[in-house]
Amino acid sequence: MKKYIVLIGAVMALSSCNDDFLDRYPQTSVAPEEFFKSEEDLELYVNGLLTMPGPGSYQSDQSSDNMATTGAVEIKNIITGNPTSQTITGGWNWGTLRNINYFLDNYEKAQASEEAIAHYVGLARYYRAMFYFGMVKRYSDVPWYENTLDPSDQEQLYKGRDSREMVMTNVMADLDYAVSHVRESVPTGTPSLSAVKAFYSRLALYEGTYRKYHSELGLEASSATLLQKARDLAKELMDSGKFSIYSTGNPENDYAKLFTSQDLMGNPEVILVNPYDANKDRGSNVNTGVFGDYEQSPSRDLVMSYLMKDGSYYSSVPNHMQLGFVEEFKDRDPRMMQTLVYPGWIREPNSTPYIQNLNKNFTGYHQIKGYQNTTDNIAISSADFPVYRYAEVLLTYAEAKVEMNELTQADLDMTVNVLRQRAGMPDLIMTDANMSPDPFLVQKYPNVGGSNLGVLLEIRRERRIEFAVEGYRYDDLMRWSAGKLFENIPQGMYFAGLGKYDLTGDGIEDVILVGKDTNIPVGDEKEKNSLGVTLVYYKAGTIDENVDVFLENGEAGGMMVTETKARTFEEPKYYYRPIPIQQVTLNPNLNQIFGWN
């Protein structure tokens, strides 16, 4: 039993209490001296600001090229529709900032030690940095507020956007303060100094690369300073000796344990954990969404991104585009089989290998990362979530170094290659990668080049593989100015055409694809395989036909088709979102930018 869940449960309760407190007593009228009296009051309030991602992140890659989805995902709606500020109305929410600034306006009234006060102020400023980072990623230029708004202050209420550069300078000032004052020793499930550094390095890498690859901002010259910050913070965490990559010497399972563990407390790789325990009324069950066969399904493009087990490119395998499900899983990076359902995988409570339930708009692939393969509902809902992993720190360091043209083989050996070794993969050799970049990656990122092209692409591959279906991919594509990849409609498994197929890897057929006009037999009339098991029948054809499986060439085969609606990613416009029209009507000083109306 995870005793530390009591704390996080209390924090969540405090969060609710804090909201109630703020709702009952408007911040413009409550007397702060009645609340901000002691260190305990500061702790109570700041704990109420705690927010962390959870297992829902395992479904976040629906917003990227890692997934096909039938869900109403914003970026998909944008690139397949006619978006305007009247149709994109979410995101312009400032309540969280109001609560943070209220604390920062009133904490000085408490009687506590300078060290304690500075710690809680540091956490509040860390939360403010998180809030503004989210707003800048979405809107770029946004109004900066560092105090609670007074309803009578018309100038502040109706101010326009502040520049991205100004806002991010203030965000970094908040994080610099937090790095100097937040404690390292904190209650489990709350941010420590190391967690703040992990977030700060993530933010600095994002903003540094974003400025480098987005000329529309005119901030390319300032990218180096941010990349240096990302590099230095990552190195501080690496040199601290507090963290290491989780490995027991079992490359076939160690990676997966990070996403199925009931207790990540003490795991050397997890810098910040979001703990769950259904027995403590804090559970999260995402099994149905993660292991879907309709709303989300991994793309074949993700499958093709994994290297061969010997480190060679999958794109170098003869006829790799025409390999079926069983063949494409052979001799691949072990992380692939710890992320996706593989031939021969057994789903509890069954005792025989799982056979894909092929479906319309489905790629044929299933995700198992984040899926709890058990029928125990308590266990399903009690898996901890790793908020910040040391793996990210290592890849932040490697990417920052290569973007600054500072990368060495020694850097790779203490970053990328540590992750590859955990997975049982060969080391990445810088000279080899630069000598022969993978054509599969080259065509994805046409805006990069130079003598380190190959190793830069491999670091990007490593991020995609290591963090697959954890919700990182969308932000990575945005900061790399790779939005055009969203125009590619996700595809699925390859089938050579009509006929019988083995999907479990035992060499015995499991399913049969028949033509659209076939009368599928019923009952005992259906064909059985050599084990005496009835084959599963599917009608195959094109997406505009009344069939079960959509193939790009219909009955002649090809990759599974998920949709056909054309996609257009308008650059630079779609890297940003418009301010909702209702807000612009209320405050005409909030002008739209980058072509939004």
Tens digits of residue pLDDT in 269-293: 999 999 999 999 999 999 999 997 7
The pLDDT of 575-591, averaged and rounded, is 97
The DSSP output letter for 332 is B
- 27 pLDDT higher than 70: no
CB 291 within 8 A of CB 460: no
Half-sphere exposure for 578 (CA within 13 Å, toward CB): 20
List, in order, residues 6 or more apart from 9 with CB less than 8 Å away.
280, 281, 282
Question: pTM of the prediction?
Answer: 0.94
Q: Please give the pLDDT value at position 34.
A: 76
How many Å apart are CA 151 and CA 64, to the nearest integer?
40
Higher pLDDT, 463 or 28: 463
Tell me the pLDDT tens digit for each residue of 198-236: 999 999 999 999 999 999 999 999 999 999 999 999 999
Radius of gyration from C-alpha coordinates of the chain: 26
Residue in the block written with tokens 């800048």? 136
CB 492 within 8 A of CB 357: no
Residues 322-335: tens digit of each pLDDT: 999 999 999 999 99
In contact, 176 and 118? CB cutoff 8 Å: no
CA dist 208 → 57, 180, 377, 409, 577 (Å)? 24, 22, 43, 23, 20
Range 131-137 average pLDDT: 98
Listing DSSP states for 480-509 in one string gives TT-GGGGGSPPEEEEE-SSEEE-SSSSSS-
Question: Residue 13 pLDDT > 90, yes or no?
Answer: no
How many Å is the maximal CA-CA distance in the chain?
A: 82
Write out pLDDT tens, residues 526-569. Answer: 999 999 999 999 999 999 999 999 999 999 999 999 999 999 99
What is the model's pLDDT at position 31?
A: 65
Q: Report CA-CA distances (Å) from 384 to 189, 344, 454, 506, 556.
A: 10, 27, 36, 34, 46
- Find all residues with CB under 8 Å of 489, minimum gap 6, and list them: 561, 562, 563, 564, 565, 567
Determine how β-strand 296-298 pairs with β-strand 67-69: antiparallel
549-550, strands of its sheet edge to edge: 499-501, 511-514, 536-541, 549-550
Q: CB 461: neighbour CB atoms within 10 A?
A: 22
